[in-house]
Amino acid sequence: MTPPATAPATSQPVHAAAPLLAVEDLTTVFRLADGREAPAVDGVSFTIASGETLGLVGESGSGKSVTALSIVRLVRPPGRIASGRVVIDGRNVFDLDERKMRDIRGRRIGFVFQEPMVALDPVYTIGAQIEETLAVHSLARGAAARRRVVELLDAVRIPRPDERADAYPHQLSGGLRQRAMIALALSAEPALVIADEPTTALDVTVQAEILDLLRDMRRAFNLSLLLITHDLGVVAGMADRVAVMYAGRIVEQAPTAEVLHTPAHPYTRGLLASMPGARPGTRLEAIAGTVPPIGSLPIGCAFAPRCPQRFEACDERPPITSASPGHDVRCFLYSGTSA
């Protein structure tokens, strides 16, 4: 038998089935002091498959947190979702009424934030907050809810979960608070967890424990994870794929190993080179300049003013092209390779 002329269907990537979450051309704008609106998130697209972890990496002001808030429609004025679609379970969340949206938050998408003291209510015990989530989503009440709380706190390895359920957030250490928030995020058994800088405020040994916990929870609950971080080291240990954001746009998206070992975009390369620790005793390779403020972005490539490889083409907005199969980059250096 001769092989077929076209590639067989089995060569499709494993995640080619309908993704759990698809963000399509999302743009979220903020009103500036002078009345103009400027994009904080500018045409962002990515997908997350069931069980997959996507690392969303960027520096402050890159739009990574606004992207997360847009997905669950929690952008507050002066911000506004201007265009795009966010599809989960085949439905565009921007078409849902607020009641259905509340069902998505918690039940389909759980949240873990950087600062548990902000997300956890200081006047209620940890147990009461988890019980409330269980009640809101009609999952358990009364004694059954209490049993579930203790199970969840035990699952996130909080010692003496029965006692800790009655603790207030301020009575726990930073690491235990973050575990409690993970328990809260998992309480309604979401399919996707959005973790926004979940370990940034923690000491390095506690950070390592929380990352181990997120890995275990991901496996135990078959979770998809959108991990938002500024730390490429955290991404290396956690993510299947990485999307790098700069000034509101995704400039590079690829499997983690490719981003770390063969970065394509000059910004990604600069970010990796500026990380300390690689060559002790030497100067760091800093990226010149600073991130332009929202509303003052150049018309073309937003990174061009800081880019060591800029050329005439960069005055225009670069399209997304492929540096290699499955490795997307928004840079004119690659615009000849494919469309």
Partner 1 sequence: MTALLEVSHLVKDFAAHGSLFRKGPVTRAVDDVTFSIETGETFGLVGESGSGKTTTGRCLLRLIEPTSGEVRFRNENVLSMSPRELRRTRRHLQMVFQDPYSSLDPRMRAGASVAEPLVIHRIGNRQARDARVATLFDLVGLPADAAARYPHEFSGGQRQRIGLARALALEPSLLVLDEPVSALDVSVQAQVVNLLLDLQQRLGLTYLFIAHDLRLVRQICSRVAVMYRGRIVELGLAERLFDAPAHGYTRALLTAIPRLDVTGRLDRVEYDDASFERLPLREVAAGHWAAV
Judged by the rule CB under 8 A, the positions of this chain that interact with partner 1 are: 59-60, 174, 203-208, 211-212, 215, 230-234, 236-237, 256-257, 260, 270-272, 274-288, 290-291
The Cα–Cα gap between 219 and 169 comes to 27
Q: What are 332's strand-pairing partners?
A: none
Residue 129 vs 256, nearer CB to partner 1: 256
Least distance in angstroms from the C-beta of 120 to partner 1? 19
Residue 2 vs 60, nearer CB to partner 1: 60
Least distance in angstroms from the C-beta of 53 to partner 1? 11
Least distance in angstroms from the C-beta of 170 to partner 1? 16
Residue 218 vs 330, nearer CB to partner 1: 218
Give residue 253's identity as a one-letter amino acid code: Q
Least distance in angstroms from the C-beta of 246 to partner 1? 10
Side-by-side strand order, sheet with 327-329: 109-112, 192-196, 224-229, 53-57, 241-246, 249-255, 327-329, 321-324
Q: 80 vs 43, 60, 66, 93, 195, CA distance in Å?
A: 14, 19, 10, 15, 22
The Cα–Cα gap between 172 and 164 comes to 8
For residue 293, the Cα-to-chain-centroid distance in whole angstroms is 22
Least distance in angstroms from the C-beta of 86 to partner 1? 27
Residue 174 vs 298, nearer CB to partner 1: 174
Residue 18 vs 257, nearer CB to partner 1: 257
